[in-house]
Amino acid sequence: MGILEGKRILVTGVLTDSSIAFHIARLAQEQGATVVLTGYGRLGLVKRIAKRLPEEPPVLELDVTDDEHLASLADRVREHVDGLDGIVHSIGFTPQEALGGNFLNTEWDDVAKAMHTSTFSLKSLTTALLPLMDKGGSVVALDFDNSVSYPIYDWMGVAKSALTSTARYLARYVGDRNVRVNLVSAGPLSTMAARSIPGFETLAEHWPERAPLGWDVKDPEPAAKAAVALLSDWFPATTGEIVHVDGGFHSTGA
């Protein structure tokens, strides 16, 4: 019996089989969960990638900045499962104008898009699905260490800082429903999303030598395992927490 036996988990952000979200969905199924995926923009691609999972899950369209999509989400999920025990928030977007060293010149409209998609969506996704979590459950969001600044990450780093704070406040307000909210802060991984960041190699190049355990930018499984553990019942009294899965990079100095 797996640690997610009988659980019903919604996973966002599966775009390719190199994404952390894909491996979370795969491991969740291997651990006994029923999985529902959401995607947006390239739904055909998401459906093709879904066929590579151990069991092909349903794929629902979801734009987390669209109020109509969010309002109908719970009903659309109910067409496939009778409730949810877990939600995986693996959603992030920042316009190119807000990355790559353009921090001082970025316009508010671009910052607002980054914050809406990458940060506020954690709250809006969770509240849209709370009616399906009447027995409690676990929300896990994917983060990136934001205790310091990084070259080229710019406003996405600011959005991740806000995501951290959002998770803490969300944990405060849904705790009385027995819903936990935690973050997995992964090191840099060579996903499609990461490769879209100009200068990603600059961000990642020193990670393996600085991380006490080393770091493989091509291996999303350690982060996925942490997310699956947090989705399980093995962390019943943990909420508002950040679990770093980065080889220990965050804990080291120069």
Name every residue whose Cβ is closer than 8 Å to that of residue 253 and which is 6 or more positions away in sequence: none
**Structure tokens given for 148:** 């310091």
Residue 24 assigned ligand-binding role? no
Distance CA 32, CA 80 (A): 16
Distance CA 3, CA 88 (A): 16
* C-alpha distances out from residue 55 to 52, 137, 157, 194, Å: 8, 23, 35, 27
Residue 242 assigned ligand-binding role? no
Helices 20-30 and 221-231 pack at an angle, to 10 degrees, of 50
Residue 135 assigned ligand-binding role? no
Catalytic residue among 135, 153, 173, 225: 153
Helices (H), ranges, the chain = 20-30, 43-50, 67-78, 108-115, 121-129, 154-174, 192-195, 200-204, 207-210, 221-231
Q: Which of 37, 29, 31 is nearest to 10 (CA)?
A: 37
Length of the chain: 254
Tell me if residue 218 is catalytic: no
Tell me if residue 153 is catalytic: yes
Integer-rounded Cα Rg, in Å, for the chain is 17
Residue 13 assigned ligand-binding role? yes
Residue 39 assigned ligand-binding role? no
Residue 160 assigned ligand-binding role? yes
Helices 154-174 and 108-115 pack at an angle, to 10 degrees, of 40
Residue 19 assigned ligand-binding role? yes
Catalytic residue among 7, 40, 160, 173: 160
Longest dimension (CA), the chain: 53
Q: Could you list the residues known to form a binding site for NAD(+), using ranges.
A: 13, 19-20, 63-64, 91, 160
Q: Could you list the residues known to form a binding site, using ranges.
A: 13, 19-20, 63-64, 91, 160
Residues with catalytic roles: 153, 160
